[in-house]
Structure 1
Amino acid sequence: MTTTTTTTEADRALKAAHRATWALGDYPSVAIDLIAELGPVLVATAGVRAGETVLDVAAGAGNVAVPAALTGARVTASDLTPELFVAGRAFADRHGATVEFEEGDAEDLPYADGSFDRVLSCVGVMFAPHHRRAADELVRVCRPGGTVGVLNWAVDGFVGEMFRAMKPYVPAPPPGVQPAALWGDVEYVRSLLGDRVTDVGVTRASVLIDRFATPQAWLDHWKTVYGPTVAAYRGIADDPDRVAALDRALLAVAGRFDRGTGSTVLEWEYVVVTACVRE
């Protein structure tokens, strides 16, 4: 099922913009500290075992790759933004994990068909601009009988609502670019994988973010660490009214999802989908 991707100048510019966005702020602090539990959840749900070959797609700083490696698997972490690998290698070293970090585009992975036993992505591949291409690549590089597993933010959960709140304040995407939040819809993911997979499993759960005293404290932090939010605010920095409006919109989302009584506890729902590639 080898695929050929034709890269245009527009596509190269789009990927360069994506790479720059995720290099902003401090995404490793989000992946490794704030949502650290998600990597082990995906590794366990996908059934990673010692001796297997695992590819972590759109791996960021390796919050799936490192726990996968700690099972004894042989792990490659691939990401479009290699600036994140400095933190990823340090993260792996702290845990005594061996991970190969390699630059790669989720829509055009530099691996042969059927190269890996498990192909995983944790809130990563969902941000690739062309969903069909990315899904095709996940399946292509997984061996027949192997497992594809993705953990995505729920379409109607906190992060999905956050991106909807940001939408009026960022430039419209180029034609053909699809919203990341769609990956949080199980039926949509099923449609992307299609009849190339079987034994589809679905798990829904939430990660609780409880380290911020107030929604404002969360927003102040988020505006400095999360690349897409950093980029959104940079784009409207010369318009104080729009900055204030975006502040209000994001605080409203945080308020709706705050489950705390004395301090802020934000519930961020996610969906895990695993599937076996047909033999």
Structure 2
Amino acid sequence: MTDTTDAGDADRALKAKHRTMWALGDYPAVAKEVVGALGPVLVTACGVKHGDRVLDVAAGAGNAAIPAALAGGDVIASDLTPELLDVGRRDAAARGAELRWEVADAEALPFADGEFDTVMSCVGVMFAPHHQDTADELVRVCRKGGIIGLISWTPEGFIGRMFTTMKPYAPPPPPGAQPPPLWGREEHVRALLGDRVDGVDARRQTVRVDRFAKPEEFREFFKATYGPTIAVYRNIAEAPEKTAALDRALDELAGDALQDGAMEWEYLLFTARRSGVAPG
């Protein structure tokens, strides 16, 4: 067996693990009940208009893709996890949105070079393990003069700190995988995209989350719905003292963030134009 074959097998196993993790629980409930406002923010920032060819990468259940379609875009929602796309199809039909849904790996998108006017991702591609591969694909499928738009949790914001809190209880990351919240640092995204984009607009903003009145409500909701949190708890399921310690740590994190029954979760809103002159 060659090294190339070994690497390919390892990558397929890693992607299968990611697909399984995001199918755990009920991520669409998180997207809709907790951070539903983010999709429309991204669509507005990208300036999606009628007739634009739009690709939402790591779209989940369509938190951004459906608003883009309702804004008149010709939209494809792509994601590694078919179960999330199934939920999105039903939600889109209920809302009268027409778009395509395709299973796709953010690191190897099955689309042509320059196929889209807008390529976007709402707290999605940040979870693909190999950041440069993902960034290269975002650029490749965006036409010259097109828009790349991303929303990513910052390392210093609530979700970034949640991942830091969970890290001691999680299994070690696979070789080569990079931490998701790095996408929330402007300098990291600029380095990934390089001189292939210009007109960068990067700003830190917050989304108000008023879904949880008490820290325990946040903890139990995420233990039941959010794939990464579920996976961490499964990793320590045979160690009740660790489970109790993580419970306390998440309660403390949420308690510090709750002010008058609400939290402000920080994210990076990053938009840029694909360098070069659009044909025609």
Structure 2 runs not aligned, ≥5 long? 1-5
The answer on whether the counterparts of 2:214 and 2:255 sit within 8 Å (CA) in structure 1 is: no
Distance (Å, rounded) in 2 between the aligned partners of 1:98 and 1:221: 31
Q: How far apart in 2 are the matches of 1:7 and 1:93?
A: 40
Q: Which amino acid aligns with 1:83?
A: E
Identity across the alignment (%): 57
Say if 2:58 is the partner of 1:51: no
Q: Taking structure 1 as the reference length, what is the TM-score of the superposition? A: 0.95
Q: Given that residues 208 and 266 in structure 1 are in contact (C-alpha distance below 8 angstroms), is that contact kept between their aligned partners in structure 2?
A: yes
Alpha-carbon shift at residue 7 of structure 1 (Å): 6.2
Query: In the alignment, which of 254, 266, 269 is matched to residue 266 of structure 2?
Result: 269
CA distance in 2, matches of 1:37, 1:69: 16
Q: Deviation at 1:255? A: 1.8
Write the distance in 2 (CA, Å) between the matches of 1:219 and 1:267. 16
Q: Does 1:28 align with 2:25?
A: no
Where does 1:172-187 land on structure 2 (aligned, <5 Å)?
172-187=172-187
Q: Count how many residue pairs are aligned between Structure 1 and Structure 2.
A: 271
Offset at 1:154? 1.4
Contact 2:215 2:254 in 1 (8 A): yes
* Stretch of structure 1 that moved more, 202-211 or 219-228: 202-211
| Contact 1:32-1:61 at 8 Å conserved across structures | no
Instruction: Output one character per residue of 1:11-55: Cα deviation in whole Å (capped at 9) or x when no partner.
Output: 000000000000000001111222111000000001111100000
Q: Say whether residues 1:80 and 2:77 are aligned partners.
A: no
| Whole-angstrom CA distance in 2 between matches of 1:205 and 1:7 | 38
The alignment partner of 1:156 has SS state of coil
1:203, distance to aligned residue in structure 2 (A): 2.5
Change (3 A) 1:7 1:58: farther
| In 1: Cα distance, 2:199 partner to 2:111 partner | 25
* Correspondence for 2:251: 251
Paired position in structure 1 for 2:17: 17
2:47 match: secondary structure? coil
Whole-angstrom CA distance in 2 between matches of 1:236 and 1:163:
15
TM-score normalised by length of structure 2: 0.95
**Superposed CA RMSD:** 1.1
CA contact (8 A) 2:85 2:101 kept: yes
- The answer as to 2:275 corresponding to 1:278 is yes
